[in-house]
């Protein structure tokens, strides 16, 4: 877990109990969920295996331990998780080095949160080396804290990453708004007790209590996020 700037306190608008905004990375702020699948297909092709497109929904949004483990078992590839992890991270880092498109609305939302000094954290299942590379494009100054998947005991869908982010910002998880794009990330945020905005990237997500589903990040702004957390708890 890396803090890039000091936590900014709990400045909120009158009538809103919002204390912080916690943001997923892949598929939420940067359009990279497809990149991971492309890299996985390329790596397994080099090992002599073809990935079934139906498996994409199994691995999307999950930690590498789950996605890589599933693909090794599904294909029977003769490779260890440690070896595969290096190949996948190397391939992904090379891929984003060529092109790293932001999701529509991402730059505007980050700028708005920074302008209003809303404590904001980046919470990702990606490893630290990948997050640090992506932050070059997103802007480190937008985040008071960043949490990587290889820095917590259990990553998404467990609540640990979001609980770590809330603790690092010294805020109540129940007064945080989380923006996620996959069911795995939504499960992690809800298990942590946060209010969730789901912006589905690959698989559909249905609305639920404390979960609002929108079609695009362009529908999300600070007023909208504040409206979700109108009282503590």
Phi, psi of 230 (to 5 degrees): -95, -10
Residue of 126, 98, 111, 132 lying closest to 184 (CA atoms): 126
pLDDT band at 3 (very low <50, low <70, confident <90, very high): low
Residue with tokens 């790596």: 43
Apex CA 122: angle with CA 118 and CA 124, to 5°?
155
- 84 torsion bin: left (phi>0), alpha (psi -120 to 50), beta (else): alpha
Does residue 157 have a cis bond before it (omega within 30 degrees)? yes
pTM over 0.85: no
User: How much is the pLDDT for 61?
Assistant: 67
Farthest-apart Cα atoms in the chain, separation: 59
Contact 196, 229 (CB under 8 A): no
User: How much is the pLDDT for 153?
Assistant: 93
Q: Does residue 17 sit in helix, strand or coil?
A: coil
Inter-helix orientation angle 81-98/33-46, to 10°: 130
- Per-residue pLDDT of 44-78, as tens digits, reads 999 999 999 989 877 776 678 888 889 999 999 99
Whole-number CA gyration radius for the chain: 17
**What is the rounded CA–CA span in Å between residue 27 and residue 200?**
8
- Per-residue pLDDT of 160-203, as tens digits, reads 999 999 999 999 999 999 999 999 999 999 999 999 999 998 88
């Amino acid at each position: 877990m890396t803090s890039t700037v000091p936590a900014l306190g709990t400045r909120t608008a009158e009538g809103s109990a919002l204390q912080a905004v916690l943001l997923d990375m892949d598929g939420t702020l940067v359009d990279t969920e497809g990149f991971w699948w492309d890299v996985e297909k390329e790596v397994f092709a080099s090992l002599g295996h073809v990935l079934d497109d139906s498996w994409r929904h199994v691995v999307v949004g999950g930690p590498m331990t789950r996605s890589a483990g599933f693909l090794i078992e599904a294909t029977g590839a003769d490779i260890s998780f440690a070896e595969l992890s290096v190949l996948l991270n190397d391939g992904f880092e090379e891929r984003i080095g060529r092109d790293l498109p932001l999701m529509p609305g991402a730059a505007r939302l980050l700028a708005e949160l920074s302008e209003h000094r809303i404590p904001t954290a980046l919470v990702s299942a990606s490893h630290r080396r990948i997050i640090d590379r992506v932050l070059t494009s997103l802007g480190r100054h937008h985040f008071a804290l960043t949490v990587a998947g290889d820095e917590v005991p259990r990553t998404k869908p467990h609540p640990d990453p979001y609980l770590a982010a809330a603790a690092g910002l010294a805020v109540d998880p129940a007064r945080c708004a989380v923006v996620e794009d996959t069911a795995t990330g939504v499960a992690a945020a809800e298990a942590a007790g946060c209010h969730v905005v789901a912006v589905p990237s690959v698989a559909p997500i249905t609305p639920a209590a404390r979960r609002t589903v929108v079609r695009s990040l362009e529908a999300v702004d600070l007023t909208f996020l504040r409206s979700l957390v109108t009282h503590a708890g």
